[in-house]
Structure 1
Amino acid sequence: MADSAPAYPYETRLNILFPAMEVIDEKAIADGNQYKWFNQTLCKVNDSVVRMGVIEGEYHWHKHDEDDEFFYVVEGQLLIDFEDREIALSPRQGYVVPKGVVHRTRALQRTVILMVENAGIIPTGD
């Protein structure tokens, strides 16, 4: 029987890379990345996780029925598309996408972002 889950061309690592009380060197991880679309969970904070993304290109349209998402740009520019508009974020800017809102993220050039979301969220959407 074939697997009905869609395959996505993203390198998504959900393992928690750093325990509490350890220095997190986001730049070293980002600079060592060779993928066009890479997500790595950095740490857990209470019931949330902080993830780092190194992205270029576009993610698929999706939504999270139960969870908000926070995006923060470290370098580059993040575009967040909604059905009726587009938000452009530059370095040191952040944005919350509320639960249930259909969106997609994209970057025209290599962009490094941090995301804060519920530890149980499915990154590809519900």
Structure 2
Amino acid sequence: MGEPKSYPYVTKLDVKYPPLTVVDVPAMVAACTDSWFNQTLCKVNDSVARLGIFQGEYHWHKHDRDDEFFFVLDGHLLIDLEEETIDLGAWQGYVVPKGITHRTRAPEKVIVLMVETADIVPTGDD
């Protein structure tokens, strides 16, 4: 087994907001200076809600055991699948089923809520 891959994304898997805490998305968006930022907001049972603040494109990857839900809060998100591209605007969402190779792209800054299992590896299964 080789060295783990390095990616140019800021991915924080710690739970920022424990139960009984107000989740303050506008404050996180205002403080973000990264072009690709992903922070776990909270854990709900066996799943997590994550905030993504993206601009640019992610690499192609898949999750063999986990579905992913993307919900655009602000901006425009493209989800490339092998055969098509899903085009989402504010207040639209999409589930990428487990085992489907995909990547996300944001021509301009987008703010996305993601829901997935707590054990998922955001960069994909190698």
Could you say which TM-score interval applies, normalised by the shorter chain? over 0.9
Query: Cα deviation per residue 1:6-47 (whole Å; 9 max; x = unaligned)?
Result: 110000000000011111011110111000000000000000
Say if 2:56 is the partner of 1:57.
yes
Say if 2:22 is the partner of 1:23.
yes
State the Cα RMSD in Å.
0.7
How much does 1:81 deviate?
0.2
Rounded to whole Å, the distance in 1 between the matches of 2:84 and 2:105 is 14
- State the secondary structure of the residue aligned to 2:107: strand
Rounded to whole Å, the distance in 2 between the matches of 1:81 and 1:4 is 27
1:30-41 aligned at under 5 Å gives the runs 30-41=29-40
Aligned to 2:100: 101
- State the secondary structure of the residue aligned to 2:91: coil
**Number of positions where the alignment pairs a residue of Structure 1 with one of Structure 2:** 124
What residue identity is the alignment partner of 1:119? A
What residue identity is the alignment partner of 2:12? R
Aligned to 1:117: 116
- Normalised TM-score (structure 2): 0.97
Query: Cα deviation per residue 1:59-106 (whole Å; 9 max; x = unaligned)?
Result: 000000000000000001010001110001000000000000000001
Q: Extract unaligned runs of 5+ from structure 2.
A: none
Q: Extract unaligned runs of 5+ from structure 1.
A: none
- Normalised TM-score (structure 1): 0.97
Aligned to 1:71: 70
What residue identity is the alignment partner of 1:29? M
Q: Taking every aligned residue pair, what percent have the same amino acid on both sides?
A: 56
Which stretches of structure 1, 4 residues or longer, exceed 3 Å deviation after superposition?
A: none
Aligned to 1:6: 5
How much does 1:5 deviate?
1.3
Aligned to 1:86: 85
